[in-house]
Amino acid sequence: MNYFSELKGKNVLVTGGSKGIGKDIALQFARLGSDVFIVGRDEQALTKTTEELKQINPNCSYLSADITKVNEIYEMIDKFLALKGRIDILINNAGLNIPQPALEVTEQDWDAVLDTNLKGTFFCSQRAARSMIEQGQPGKIINIVSQMAFVGYIKRAAYCSSKGGAVQLTKALAIEWAKYNIKVNAVAPTFIETDLTRKMFEDEEFYQDVLDRIPLGSLAKPNDVTSAVLFLASDMANFITGETIRVDGGWTAI
């Protein structure tokens, strides 16, 4: 059986798609024949990842945007629509964490995290859904949230707040847009082993604390998250909306 064959030819937009989890998601969609556009602010990283994507599918590309700015979100999605005609799947992956004690969080830090993880997710979803509704087409929106939406953890007051909000946002949008056949779901990973997080885990005490909280005994890998995203994007999940799949090795089951 050829799993996920229905994703071939789909137009997929991945925010934060040049690095880490977002890059893995983008590459896997491209391997399945989807036309993938990645979004970010780092032109160098965007260009490098796009070169990899184009080797798999020459129809892939990138768009620059700061998703904390609503006007840039609108311009970016409108440009995507002008180039591709429609959005089939939106992956809201762009995220930010500024680990610090709650007593040290500044207004600037709080706004940076919330604007990226919650505000950006909402306005990307809003613009994509408006286009789906106007064209009378079904669509899928998948938000990358976190297990921190369900549990507390040190030095993550703003991050936990933003991801908890994104889970509730997922439910609210799923209910409101169900009549348009737009499914809105989320994937909530635990700590992921990537080049970007490797430095963080050089703190042996922190690393061991994380492992002790994961019953499966290891960090997740980007592909663990990507697999859940592909499932939600596929026809196998056509009767699922408003749900969050926890890819956390059992952390939140305790």
Distance CA(44)–CA(22), nearest Å, equals 16
**How far is 149 from 161, CA to CA, in rounded Å?**
7
Catalytic annotation on 159? yes
The pLDDT score that the predictor gives to residue 1 is 58
**pLDDT digits (tens), the chain, 254 positions:** 578 999 999 999 999 999 999 999 999 999 999 999 999 999 999 999 999 999 999 999 999 999 999 999 999 999 999 999 999 999 999 999 999 999 999 999 999 999 999 999 999 999 999 999 999 999 999 999 999 999 999 999 999 999 999 999 999 999 999 999 999 999 999 999 887 688 889 999 999 999 999 999 999 999 999 999 999 999 999 999 999 999 999 999 98
Catalytic residue among 3, 62, 74, 159: 159
For the chain, which residues make up each domain, given as ranges? 5-253
Measured CA to CA, the distance from residue 100 to residue 109 in angstroms comes to 10
Report pTM: 0.97
Long-range own/partner contacts, residues 152-159 (CB < 8 A, 24 or more apart): 154/101, 155/99, 155/100, 155/101, 155/102, 156/97, 156/99, 157/102, 157/105, 158/98, 158/105, 158/109, 158/110, 158/113, 158/114, 159/97, 159/98, 159/99, 159/113, 159/117
The interaxial angle of helices 20-31 and 222-233, nearest 10 deg, is 50
Architecture label for domain 5-253: 3-Layer(aba) Sandwich (3.40)
The two structure tokens encoding residue 210? 């994380």
Q: Could you tell me which residues come within 8 angstroms of residue 230 by beta carbon, excluding any fewer than 6 positions away?
A: 4, 7, 28, 29, 32
Whose tokens are 């977002």? That residue is 22
